[in-house]
Amino acid sequence: MKKLFSLGLLLFLLIPIQLSAQQSEIFSAELQTLIESVEEKVIDWRRDIHQHPELGNREFRTSALIAEHLRSLGIEVQTDVAHTGVVGVLHGGQPGPVVALRADMDALPVTERVDIPFASTVTSVFNGQEVGVMHACGHDTHVAMLMGTAEVLAQYRDNLKGTVKFLFQPAEEGPPEGEEGGAELMVKAGVLGNPDVDVVFGIHINSLLEVGHISYTPGGTMASADDFRIHVKGVQTHGAYPWNGADPIVASAQIISALQTIVSRRVTLIDNPAVVTVGMVRGGVRSNIIPEEVEMMGTMRALHPDDRLEIIDHMHEIIENTARAMGVTATLTLPVTTSYPVTYNDVDLTNRMVPVIEAIAGPDHVSLRKPVMGAEDFSFFSQEVPGLFLFLGGRPSDVPEDEAAAHHTPDFFIDDSQLNLGVKAFVGMTLDYMENP
């Protein structure tokens, strides 16, 4: 890891500082003009992508839109990376480090319920089921912000002291079952090499954080995530004579209860939170038949890599021994399709960039946030090179936080009036790092 120089020297050497009426900014007049020139484009791109969402590994229209835009800017473009990913390489006018900027492209199998002119009416097939498709996690905003950032930096290329890699990533929400995808596959495809990336930055919209605000967490910021399947097999019998069989439903209930003791009794919760959730139980066809088998699926999350491994060991132990005690057999498959490491913000890089973000957004609009149990496959990039993952506010100022719809829900809504703050953050962090890598 390259040594980070002091922030004081950085700000002294940084491009000329100007003060606006509302915030101090670290951009020259030229850059400020370039950023302002893409503001409406970013909103238009976001709304177009929102109206045409695509599921993971199927982002064909979105990737074509991105590739066409990057090529129009004279940026080197590679397509079909990790299925539908797009990588753009922008060489600056001067030598320097390589900064990667990442945006994810995929939508979710959610039917939109928000009354907006550009609401999604798209349907598709997900794991064999016909579903509505919606950008219910804001990836449309991520793509639009990075497209705007690419346009700004491309027009400023002669002044860039290094190279920028734009990583437009498919399948952050996980690939379809039976496929590889997402950041893990992009890393395998070599997107962090040729030229070798020095740092990577990512921004995620947040429907609960007020618009115009940015939040961050040094160190572990988002949990690891591993989905799992438990298959419990018993002996089928009539519901009136349970002693003639081996009941996988009762055994499954015992397994679910016992799994909760891992977090409540095995993990040091005052240091690192963890979650073991069973989200699906399927078994049986009618009231008076004890079935032969039950299938359960769930998610396991932790904020420390050691806890993650320990919880997996405990899960195997509890599932196998509980099943044996109940006279059935049970097998654990972990992961099924998703296995994300902890999303870790490099502490030195975070500390260095916070004053830059404060200069862009205003100190009272930048806040430290607690780690969350949600997960992000940005973690695959940040475990290879130093990374920083920020959260950008998308909640309308007149909507109380407790009334804002959560991510992954049909009512998810983003105020896109200040997406240019994300463009400013990407541009500011890129130029900052290039000044003193």
Residues carrying an active site annotation:
106, 172
Sorted by sequence, the CB contacts under 8 Å of residue 9 that are 6+ apart come out as: 436
For residues 191 and 368, the answer to whether their CB atoms sit within 8 Å is no
Cα 282 to Cα 419: distance, rounded to the nearest angstrom = 42
Cα 374 to Cα 205: distance, rounded to the nearest angstrom = 13
Sorted by sequence, the CB contacts under 8 Å of residue 47 that are 6+ apart come out as: 118, 140, 416
Sorted by sequence, the CB contacts under 8 Å of residue 411 that are 6+ apart come out as: 113, 114, 405
Cα 248 to Cα 70: distance, rounded to the nearest angstrom = 55
Of 368, 392, 386, the C-alpha closest to 217 is 368
Sorted by sequence, the CB contacts under 8 Å of residue 290 that are 6+ apart come out as: 234, 236, 237, 238, 239, 242, 245, 247, 248, 249, 284
Element (H, E) at 92: none
For residues 325 and 359, the answer to whether their CB atoms sit within 8 Å is no
Sorted by sequence, the CB contacts under 8 Å of residue 46 that are 6+ apart come out as: 140, 141, 143, 144, 416, 419
Question: Is the Cα torsion angle 366, 367, 368, 374 positive or negative in sign?
Answer: negative
What's the token pair of residue 266? 């095995």
Look at strands 94-104 and 199-210 and give their pairing.
Answer: parallel
